[in-house]
Copies of this chain bind each other. A is one copy, B any other.
Amino acid sequence: MASTNSLPGFQMTVNPVFIEKAQELKPLLRETMASPMRISLDGGEWQAAGESIPSLHEGSVLRLDFGHHVTGYVRFSFDTEGSPPDAPALLELSFGEKELELGAQLENYKGNLTASWLQQERIHVDEFPCTIKLPRRYAFRYVEIKILAISPKYQLVLQNVDTRCVSSADILQVKAPDTQDTELCQLDKAGIWTLHECMQDVFEDGPKRDRRMWLGDLYLQAKTNYLTFGNTDLVKRCLYLFAGLRQNEGRVGATLFVRPRLQVDDIYLFDYALFFIFTLYDYYKYTGDEETLQELYATAQRQVEIASERLDEHGLVKDSADWWCFIDWGEGLNKQCSAQAVFILALEKLSWLAEVLGRNEEKQGFFTRMEKAKRAIMRLYDKDKKVFRSGEAGQVSWHSQIWAVLAGVLPEEEARRLLLQLDRLPFKPQTPFMHHFYLEALCKCRFQDKAFAHMKAYWGAMLQEGADTYYESFNPDARDFSPYGAKEIESYCHAWSCTPAYFIRKYCGVAVE
């Protein structure tokens, strides 16, 4: 996720006690080695990596396939054939989660995200034999080595490539889901691997890009993590980081940087700030860790107060033309109705958390405000057409209906009928993030079969493309569309897409060993 908006007069306030707690929970990264399984020279057929690799001259293009998605540090060893090397070799190294990323030409890049995210390096090698350890971390399955320039007097021989893969997730902790459905097992596996790759010293949104925490991603990662890796300390660490690095007026930022120093970004998003409450709620439900709840409660509460500043006289979230709320990608999507629903759910969860802490007066206050917010959202309900409308123009979208259903503002039968009508509406979900909430809404309305069918259709279509991790953005009806204007800049292993593993485990359970 990326954008260019910034909170006016942005400043960061650090809570050193929270940061110390977060840093004590910093995980050690587990390391494993990976090697390429297949190779292909100059656009030829893939061959098993055991085959000997021909020597490389100027213009040679060698592709390597590691067989699955890896996140880590790459090391190449080269020697030479022919005369003593009488000039440096200039290599272009590309790393791609998908093959389409390889050999991307900077000059031809048309995307609206910074081209520096392309995983491509040009390096000079002056001395042979050599082992080149690239200092940057890459996320990839495929590697391309292109010889941009080399003396005609000698050839390069690739002797070894390997990757020191890193993750804080322990794959051995993950139990199999209790299902014989091989399709579900595959969907589950890709979800787990997506999450595994994103679990570094924080929950990253994507190991390729942006390589940092976003609260929307964290919310769904944490949910899936409880039922898979069970690494509750990493969730706790991330909650303390978001609470410990606050924006103006105590706002929780949409995203945090952890390198080179802890820093909250200057982006504030209405829904993302409230997802702090959603994430804390889940954390407490799963762990029962009352001490953490006690400490982070004030941060959660503050987000509701800040969000409330956007309410109009009817208690309805005010719309605006800037990028104030995420909900989903999608040109022209209006966020008002969805944001109101997120606000309702935040109040509901905060009310429940207040009760846990014995703050009954506060609990009652939040409950009352939630009731008011629920009444307000009904002002957006078109009673004739039986759809929610959003914004001044009364835009109808899948998003508004889905979030309204999740907020529980309609009687169940009406909610069920609304979900069944979605196919006729414009503004479909663009990202697996929004598809997740669609599944949540279906499950909430006892359409679990429909939810699983949609999961197989939507996430399954990525697997049919050969993916072993889930993408940041995917539209099976417009596979060439990129919200960033360039397929090669997209993240093909993205945290917010990992939730099939959550749904499968939640509804099928795990196998008894």
Contact = CB atoms under 8 A, between A and B. Distances in A.
Given A127-B260, A128-B260, A260-B128, A87 B149 contact: no
A311 interface: no
A66 B209 CA distance: 38
This chain's copy number in the assembly: 2
Contact of A266 (B84, B148, B151, B259): B84
Interface residues of A, number: 43
A265 interface: yes
B87 A116 contact: yes
A215 B42 CA distance: 40
Contacts of A153: 4, 6
A2 interface: yes
A84 B263 contact: yes
A86 B117 contact: no
Contacts of A128: 260
Contact of A116 (B90, B117, B130, B209): B90
Contacts of A85: 257
Nearest to A211: B126
A348 B83 CA distance: 34
A504 interface: no
Contacts of A10: 83
A117 B127 CA distance: 13
Contacts of A306: none
A451 interface: no
A479 interface: no
Given A86-B255, A88-B114, A116-B151, 17 more contacts: A2-B87, A4-B152, A58-B114, A83-B266, A84-B263, A84-B266, A85-B257, A87-B113, A87-B114, A87-B117, A88-B117, A90-B115, A106-B148, A114-B151, A116-B149, A127-B260, A130-B260
20 contacts: A4-B153, A6-B153, A83-B265, A83-B266, A84-B266, A85-B257, A86-B210, A86-B257, A87-B210, A88-B116, A90-B115, A106-B149, A107-B107, A114-B151, A116-B151, A121-B122, A122-B122, A124-B136, A126-B136, A128-B260
Interface of A: 2, 4, 6, 10, 58, 83-90, 106-107, 113-117, 121-122, 124, 126-128, 130, 136, 148-153, 209-210, 255, 257, 259-260, 263, 265-266
